[in-house]
Amino acid sequence: MEKETARIEAFSDGVFAIAITLLILEIKIPSAGSGDLSRQLLRQWPSYVAFVISFAFIGIMWINHHRLFTHIKRSNNVLLFLNLLLLLGVTAVPFPTAVLAQHFGQSGQRAAAILYHGTYLAIAVFFNILWGYASRHLLGKDVDASAAGKISAQYAFGPLLYLVCIALAWVNVAVSLLLNIALAVFFALPPHRAVRAASR
C-alpha cells in the first residue's frame, strides 16, 4: 500500500532537485577575449563558495524534510499548504545566493548577507510551523514520542540563531556567514546528537 504522503514527498523531492540545480546557473562562463581565462575564473571565487555552501544547505534541508516525513504518516489540506510554504523558501535560495556572490567584498555585502540570512530565517520558521502542525495532528501511532521531541528541540534553535546571524551581519559579514555554516552542520546532525551537542 502506498504511503499517504508519497505524492507530497515525490513533489517535494522534485522541487529540491530543481532548486539545487539552479544554483550552478549563477556561475557564469567568462566571455572569450575578455582577458586571461584563468584570472577571470579566479575572480569568480565568491560564486564558487556561495554555490558549494548553498548546495550543501539545500541538501541538508532535503535530508531534514525526509526525516520529518518518516514520522508523518497522514496528510490533509493544511499539511499540503504548509509544505508548499516551506518549498517557497527552498526555491528562493538561488536568488540570495547569487546576490551574495555578486556583492561579497563590495559595498553592498551587508545587505546581501542580511537577505541571505533572512531567507534561511524564513525557511527555519516554515520548518517549525510544518513540523509543529504535523507532530500534533499527523504522526503515526507507532512514532517514538522521544524522537519526535528531539526534532522539535533541534528545530527550536533555528529561528533565534538565524536572527543572530542577521544581527552579526551588521558587525561582521564573514563571521555571520561562518555562524550560518555552523548552523547547517548542526541541522545536518541527527536530532538526538544535535540536542545532546546543544545541551553541552
pTM as predicted: 0.86
pLDDT attached to residue 1: 40
> Can you point out the beta strands (E) in 122-185?
none
127 contacts: CB under 8 Å, gap ≥ 6 = 61, 64, 86, 155, 158
Q: What is the band of 192 on the pLDDT scale with cuts at 50, 70, 90?
A: low
- Section 173-198 average pLDDT: 81
- Section 38-50 average pLDDT: 86
Residue 117 contacts residue 176 (beta carbons within 8 Å):
yes
Residue 200 clears pLDDT 70, i.e. is over it: no
The structural domains of the chain, with segments of one domain joined by +, span 6-199
120-145 pLDDT, tens per residue?
999 999 999 999 999 888 786 666 77
Helix, strand, or coil here: 139? strand
Nearest-angstrom CA–CA distance, 48 and 41: 10
pLDDT attached to residue 90: 96
88-116 pLDDT, tens per residue?
999 999 999 989 988 988 889 999 999 99
pLDDT attached to residue 88: 96
Q: Cell 527550536 identifies what position?
A: 156
pLDDT attached to residue 198: 53
For the chain, the first-to-last Cα distance in angstroms comes to 43
- DSSP letter assigned to residue 72: B
pLDDT attached to residue 141: 67
Residue 78 clears pLDDT 50, i.e. is over it: yes
Q: Is 72 left (phi over 0), alpha (psi -120 to 50) or beta?
A: beta
Calculate the average pLDDT of the chain.
Answer: 88
pLDDT attached to residue 196: 58
- Section 36-51 average pLDDT: 86
Q: How many helices (H) and strands (E) does the chain have?
A: 9, 0
User: Among candidates 152, 151, 160, which has minimal Cα distance to 183?
Assistant: 160
